[in-house]
Structure formats: C-alpha cells, structure tokens
Amino acid sequence: GQQLNQSPQSMFIQEGEDVSMNCTSSSIFNTWLWYKQDPGEGPVLLIALYKAGELTSNGRLTAQFGITRKDSFLNISASIPSDVGIYFCAGRNQGGSEKLVFGKGTKLTVNP
C-alpha cells in the first residue's frame, strides 16, 4: 500500500527555536494534511493543503504542498512549550476511495 516517510522521528529543541519537519511519498496525493496529537488525545487538524505549490499559514505554523505532489513540509516558528506533541502528516488521493494515509509521526519536545 501507499506509504509516507515522515522525518525526523523526534526532535528536542529549546523554546524559541524554529522547527521543520517533512513528509515524502512515492505516490502522488491531491491533499496533504498536518495533524497534532497531544498525549492521551486524538489528532487535531492543523493545516490542510489542496493545491500543488500551495503555502498556508496558521499562526506560527506554515505548511507547503510540494510541486511534485509527493511531498509536504511543516514549519513551526518560535516554538513554545505547548507545541510539545506528535505531529502527523497525512495524504489523500481523491482518485481512489478518499482514504487517508498517515506518516509515522514526529515527536516534538520543547525545553523551556
């Protein structure tokens, strides 16, 4: 089946630093999504991308839909302690059954 390669697996940063993570796929997707999961909770949608090349921001978060449709990245600027959590990318090919394929996640730790 389709797979997403998400990197890095984990990050340990100081408060105030910027963060970058990315996802790549061997398949083309028509939608890229970025979710955050806090401990003990379900994933919550951060940013949705629907067009190749699209760059979208949500506060301190910025994500881009790669021009090849096979990759996406998420940047977090000026990290704060509440950014701690696991970040997942997900892709969807609307030519199929509209099922989401998830990356394995990036675990972010922010040291105050």
Nearer to another protein, 73 or 88 (CB): 88
Query: Are 84 and 14 spatial neighbours (Cβ–Cβ below 8 Å)?
Result: no
Query: Are 72 and 46 spatial neighbours (Cβ–Cβ below 8 Å)?
Result: no
Chain center to CA of 70: 13
Min CB(39)–another protein separation in Å: 11
User: How many angstroms separate the first and last alpha carbons of the chain?
Assistant: 40
Nearer to another protein, 52 or 77 (CB): 52
Collapsed DSSP state (helix, strand, coil) of residue 1: coil
Nearer to another protein, 70 or 77 (CB): 70
Q: Could you tell me the CA-to-CA distances from 21 to 28, 78, 86, 97 in Å, in that order? A: 19, 15, 11, 27
Nearer to another protein, 51 or 78 (CB): 51
Min CB(52)–another protein separation in Å: 15
Residues engaged in binding another protein (CB under 8 A): 1, 4, 6, 9, 33, 40-45, 48, 50, 88, 90, 97-100, 102-105
Min CB(12)–another protein separation in Å: 17
